[in-house]
Amino acid sequence: METLKDVFLVEARDQLEALETTLLALERDPGDEAQIHSAFRAAHTIKGSSSMADALGITAFTHNVENVLQRMRDGELVVESELVSALLGCADHVRVLLDFFARDAATDEPTLSQGQALLARLQPWLEPDQAPRLAALAPAPAGVDSHGGDARLVSDAWHISLRLGPEIFQRGVEPVGLIRYLAGLGELVRVLPITDALPPPEQMDAELCYLGFEMAFRGAVDRADIEDAFTFLQGECALHILPPHSSVAELGQLLQAQAPGREAELAQQLRQVDMLDPHDEALLSEWLAGQQPVDALTEAVAEIEAGTDDLVAPAVLAADAPAPRRPQQAERSAPTHAQLRVDADKLDRLVDLVGELVIAGAAASVIAARVGREDLNEALSVLSGLIGDMRDSAMQMRMVQIGATFNRFQRVVRDVSRELGKEIELLTEGGETELDKSVVEKIGDPLMHLVRNSMDHGIESAELRLTRGKPARGRVTLSARHEAGSILIQIRDDGGGLDSEKILAKAVERQLVQPKQQLTEAEIQQLIFEPGFSTAEQVTELSGRGVGMDVVRRNIQALRGSVTVESWPGQGCAFTIRLPLTLAIIDGFRVGIGDSHFVIPLDMVAECLQHDRQPRSCDYINLRGKLLPFVRLRELFGDEGDSAAPEVAENLVVVRHGGQQVGIVVEKLYGEMQAVIKPLGVMFQGIKGLAGCTLLGSGEIAVILDIPSLIAQLMRGPASHAAAVLE
């Protein structure tokens, strides 16, 4: 079923993330039984849900991983680094198999070979009788005789294999009704009830279902028509459908999935009720005999532990599965927080509509102010409040915690530290910090480069660290927190820091600065973001080509953010990224010069002052004993030669960002507003200081100012001598 497939792919990838996280935690603390159980549940869930989704190759492969984790859970295996590496490799391989399954593509030979190598690597931790083979992980290629597996069945009927979930009675579903409905679509030739999951009478629960069915069906239908008959049972049953004249190998794999270890017995039952031709039974027996008769390759059962909250789907009972536990009344009445998975495109569409509603509300407010009716103004005031609440709710739905992104780097740090021959650990802080999902999706690559850069360039070798009086194990810290309406992400390491002399010498060599040019320590450190800049003496797979840091800065600036670097010689280095919480709708403060309108992000506005006109040569004022550099918007964005009349009053808007504070001289202050951020046209995208635009209620366009960019320009200008006072 297509919908079931989509749900399976999403949930399986989530479970793989959980599996990887728990394996990395186990490597740090091998005795953590809770993590061992979590890892087992993740693999168990992937195996069960893949069987429901008809991804039998994934089911068989994952079962090998589950077998190893089961032995760990039983205390038969000791967690060691090499074992964790093998299991992580298997998790990566399952991701590849998921990609093939998502594209409805057959697994290619290189991937099959990779799977074979991984299973061979996993062999030392399996039971002696669980030697895995890859032959059963995929159907035999067309035209290749795998013990008769490419032969076609005589039967011209659809083969429907159904295993019902234990709780379908509680939903009012009757198995007889399902069979009758299916019979209405065509001719139900044979029905074989499967009762292997029935527990002893004293353990049976009248409210639970233990049934399954093997059915032969004929009719002028396609696969989708049969699947539609079971649509309302998605997640409640395991359904497998084989078309007429399927291959013997396909039927064999189906029997392996539904009756692991008892395939021949089930085939005999099908023969007894005339669902299997004698000739087909002989070919099937030959095919089964050619398979490795071990659970690691044949079991594809969706036996999911009852009562576990973090599983993908309800339990599907295997022949040897224990009877499910009947939920207690107290458990049924316990309050739960229902969650609904929503497609990201639908959520983006909702935010876009809310943005248009904000613009329409602003236009209505302008018209109401023009009409002057008090009752209309009051109604629109209430409407504006509701629109604001709707906007906040829509934006909150797009907010995700950055901790999931941080956790992905545990694997990166582990693998890269081994490649570099260094001992490095990763610490994370502030993982609960939330920001817009679109920002999270785009910040992954810059963070990846900065983390790898800290490990390669920052952290010293263990020998050098010991000589410097440091622990042999280096440390990289990823942290996040909210600050003044923005999110602050920092990548810190306790390595050797930046070598300013080496950076300056390299910059002079590349003619980025003049030999006698005087630069501050901060300006020297910022040189590492110049295109093609690198101080590495040797090019490696990780670094040394001068490609990366400039791309990091460019990608972050594309998100209306900024990146800075601080270094402490011999003690470490820190990269600080500032990002807006959202890229869609912001609270803004509207200002103007002449007939032009500008919007400043409200969270960056500190205060507004009346500004006494200063000589044009003066670009800073004394604000309560501190120098405050400022810039005039008219000089930046006005017409060439344009100047305000002497009688036009000026106002100073004080803005702050990243610990720096500057002033923006404007002529008009309009007040707060909600701004829906729209992209600039191509011809305006190269202008520094502009972050986007928005539509006003009057229909006019207002430009949204890029405050971090303006501050950076101002600090590099004539007022740079005041920077030290402002830091």
Side chain identity at 261, as an amino acid letter? G
pTM of the model: 0.61
Of the three residues 580, 615, 634, the one that is the final residue of a domain is: 580
**More confident site: 392 or 608:** 608
DSSP 8-state code for residue 481: E
Same domain, 533 and 593: no
Q: Provide mean pLDDT across the span 129-152.
A: 47
At 494 the pLDDT is 92
Q: Provide mean pLDDT across the span 446-460.
A: 89
Same domain, 392 and 424: no
At 44 the pLDDT is 86
Same domain, 419 and 473: yes
Same domain, 664 and 559: no
Between CA 679 and CA 693 the distance in angstroms is: 6
Same domain, 447 and 554: yes
Q: Is residue 309 part of a domain?
A: no
Same domain, 222 and 268: yes
Q: Is residue 257 part of a domain?
A: yes
At 152 the pLDDT is 80
CA atoms within 13 A on the CB side of 287: 32
Sign of the CA dihedral with 675 first, then 681, 684, and 688 last = positive
Between CA 401 and CA 548 the distance in angstroms is: 26
β-strand partners of 477: 427, 492
State the CATH number of the domain containing residue 702: 2.30.30.40
State the CATH number of the domain containing residue 499: 3.30.565.10
At 331 the pLDDT is 37
Side chain identity at 358, as an amino acid letter? V
The CA–CA distances, whole Å, from 715 to 616, 625, 688 equal 18, 19, 14
Of the three residues 560, 580, 600, the one that is the final residue of a domain is: 580
pLDDT tens per residue, range 672-700:
888 888 877 777 766 777 888 888 877 78
Question: Is 90 exceeded by the pLDDT of residue 362?
Answer: no
**Residues of the domain holding 104:** 2-138
Residue 210, phi-psi category: left (phi > 0), alpha (psi -120 to 50), beta (remainder): alpha
Question: Is 90 exceeded by the pLDDT of residue 515?
Answer: no
Between CA 352 and CA 345 the distance in angstroms is: 10
Question: Is 90 exceeded by the pLDDT of residue 398?
Answer: no
- What's the pLDDT band for 105 if we cut at 50, 70, 90? confident
Same domain, 389 and 415: no
At 6 the pLDDT is 79
At 645 the pLDDT is 60
Are the C-beta atoms of 217 and 157 separated by less than 8 Å? yes
Q: Is residue 145 part of a domain?
A: no
Q: Is residue 71 part of a domain?
A: yes
Same domain, 496 and 566: yes
Of the three residues 564, 580, 596, the one that is the final residue of a domain is: 580
State the CATH number of the domain containing residue 30: 1.20.120.160
Q: Is residue 178 part of a domain?
A: yes
**More confident site: 716 or 438:** 438
Side chain identity at 387, as an amino acid letter? I
At 295 the pLDDT is 39
Residue 701, SS3 per DSSP: strand
Side chain identity at 697, as an amino acid letter? G
Same domain, 163 and 285: yes
Q: Provide mean pLDDT across the span 87-104.
A: 90
Q: What is the SS3 assignment for 89-100?
A: HHHHHHHHHHHH
Same domain, 436 and 553: yes
Q: Is residue 339 part of a domain?
A: no
Are the C-beta atoms of 702 and 693 separated by less than 8 Å? yes
Question: Is 90 exceeded by the pLDDT of residue 476?
Answer: yes
- What's the pLDDT band for 489 if we cut at 50, 70, 90? very high
- What's the pLDDT band for 321 if we cut at 50, 70, 90? very low
Same domain, 668 and 641: yes
- What's the pLDDT band for 369 if we cut at 50, 70, 90? confident
At 536 the pLDDT is 58
Q: Is residue 407 part of a domain?
A: yes
Q: Is residue 344 part of a domain?
A: no
Same domain, 379 and 452: no
pLDDT tens per residue, range 552-562:
888 888 887 88
Cα torsion 402, 408, 412, 415 to 10°: value is 150
- Total of domains in the chain: 5
Bridge-based pairing state of the strands 620-623 and 626-632: antiparallel
Highest averaged pLDDT of the listed ranges 97-111, 248-262, 326-340: 97-111
Between CA 167 and CA 93 the distance in angstroms is: 33
